Amino acid sequence: MSALLVEESIYNLIPPVPCKPFKPPRYVSKLNPYVKHTIEQSKSQWKTIGPAKVNVPSPKDFLQKHSREPKLPKRKRDQAGKKTVQLSVPHRTDHPIMGIQSHKNFINTNAANVIMGVPKKPVPLCVDKYQGDKFLLETSGLVPRYLKKKDYGVTPEYVIRRNEEAKRAQEAYDAYVKKTLRERAMKRLTDEEREELLDGLKKNWEHVHQAFQSLSVEIDTLPKKLNKERLELQMKQLEHDISTIEKHKVIYIANK
């Protein structure tokens, strides 16, 4: 009850006066003029949005009619103040004499040419639609133009030239192949060459056999064993070659 009595006090009926908050003055730097001066010095005219100063046109210099047209020079006046006539025009009573005069009647000549002339032939056209769209018959593809040409069906010169070049290249290649095969062809040994080859092989076998007979009886080292195997292989190869040559009387040798 005490709280309710306080709220119902007569002093609460008077509206309170609103108290405005205190606003301090706006801060202004002391270096503001110095900063403005520095920025103006560092700026250039082309770094701003537009030029620093623009010359405003005068309102008296407005565009007038025919002001852009080229002006002709003024005519010269004589002492009396009259204009001098530079180009004189002949009068109606004057009859100038031309260099070439013709007495031809062009009217009758043109009429005779029209009467005696051959009428022009109409241009051949083709109509492809019922609306009447016309096209040239020559370029429509309906006229056999290419069949009537003089060179129709004739082999072009570039094809003939290309075929001749291919033929010459093929002939050169065939000649090269024949020459190569002829050089690499197998050569037949004559009887004298065969006998000389056989005698040479037998002499080599005798030389190797003599070296084999000169070996020591006791082979107790690795070099002696390898030397003996090498001489045996040489003797076997020479014996094989001698038997092959003696068996075949006709022998061919391939050229490298």
Is 8 among the domain residues? no
pLDDT tens digit string along 104-157? 899 999 999 989 988 888 888 888 877 778 888 888 888 888 888 888 888 889
Number of domain units in the chain? 3
Is 200 among the domain residues? yes
Identify whether residues 164 and 213 lie together within a single domain: no
Q: What Å distances lie between residue 216 and 110, 156, 195, 213, 221, CA to CA? A: 136, 88, 34, 8, 11
153 — alpha (psi -120 to 50), left (phi > 0) or beta?
A: left
Identify whether residues 161 and 207 lie together within a single domain: no
Which residue among 134, 166, 184 closes a domain? 184
pLDDT tens digit string along 21-32? 888 898 888 888
Is 67 among the domain residues? no
Identify whether residues 214 and 226 lie together within a single domain: yes
Identify whether residues 210 and 248 lie together within a single domain: yes
Is 171 among the domain residues? yes
Is 71 among the domain residues? no
Which residue among 139, 168, 184 closes a domain? 184
**Which residue, 213, 189, 193, is CA-closest to 201?**
193
Identify whether residues 191 and 204 lie together within a single domain: yes
Q: What is the CA radius of gyration of the chain?
A: 63
pLDDT over 70 (residue 55)? yes
Signed CA dihedral, 234, 240, 242, 244: sign only: negative
Is 76 among the domain residues? no
pLDDT tens digit string along 242-251? 998 888 888 8
Full domain range(s) for residue 136: 124-153
Is 89 among the domain residues? no
